[in-house]
Amino acid sequence: MKTAWLEWNGHLFWAQHKRSVFEPRSAVSSLIEGIWRQKPGSAHFILRSRIYTDAPVTELCRGMVIVCAKRITGLSEIPMDVKERMLNSISATRVDVRSVDAFGAVLSHSRARNVRLESELVRAEENRSIECWLVAKEGRLLATAINSAGRNRTNHAEMNLLRWWWHKEARALPAGSRLITTLEPCPMCAGAIWECVESRDDFLVEYLHADPGRAVQRSVLRGSKLLRQCVNFGHPL
């Protein structure tokens, strides 16, 4: 079990998670995701505080910090005073993200053809209309998801898909499959994909539109053979 924590205005926020191989969640991501879920109105300010963790800082953690937080420091162990404060429910809050959290964001195969209608509904909640699909080597649609980051910045389409896939299958994104998205993955989504694929030598991420933002320059997928822009984009449905 690993821990991540930060302090904001004298209050300690912390999360613990035992990450399985290929899982799209860690102690750091649990902390960030949980704060956005529990404190959507103030998460932006809370997460400007430095995050500390006794877990390895993976690409999953690093990407989420780039997009949804500010800075992170890895430590070899949790300081004793932090351990003591974690026991105090008045000055410390444990955040929990055990459930799949997405407003209409993940669609099963049987509902996949309604994805565009769902996108319109979610857009009303101030979310950007972004879709992604996981397609098997033989062309079969495995999963599809849409963006629902209007109130929780961690709920990008790719993150929603990865969480749902893990919740349903508890395994890596299959070798030989493709993840297709309408917008180039940000550093958070790129880092999660990087950590969750079965084989980085046999997986492809295809996108329609390049991300014009500066943060994407720090994406672990940029410059890798996993990433490719679609020239002739065909809807996988």
Give 121-153 pLDDT, tens digit per residue.
433 345 678 999 999 999 999 999 999 998 899
* pLDDT given at position 62: 97
- pLDDT per residue over 29-63, tens digit each? 999 999 999 999 999 999 999 999 999 999 999 99
On the question of pLDDT at 157 being above 60, the answer is yes
Helices 187-196 and 59-68 pack at an angle, to 10 degrees, of 160
Whole-prediction pTM: 0.86
What share of the chain in percent tops pLDDT 70? 84
Other Cβ atoms closer than 10 A to 144: 28
6-36 residue pLDDT tens: 999 999 999 999 999 999 999 999 999 999 9
> Does 88 score more than 80 pLDDT?
yes
User: Measured in whole angstroms, how far is the alpha carbon of residue 67 from the centre of its chain?
Assistant: 10
Contacts 24+ apart (CB under 8 A), 229-234: 229/184, 230/180, 230/206, 233/208
- What is the average pLDDT score of the chain? 87
Residue 215 has pLDDT above 80, yes or no: yes
Provide φ and ψ at 110, rounded to 5°: -65, -20
The domain segmentation of the chain, as residue ranges, is: 2-94, 106-229
pLDDT for 91 equals: 86
62 to 88, 108, 133: CA distances (angstroms): 29, 29, 24
Count of residues in the chain:
237
Give the pLDDT confidence score for residue 119 in this predicted structure: 40
**Quick one: pLDDT band at residue 108, thresholds 50, 70, 90?**
very low
Q: Which CATH architecture has domain 106-229?
A: 3-Layer(aba) Sandwich (3.40)
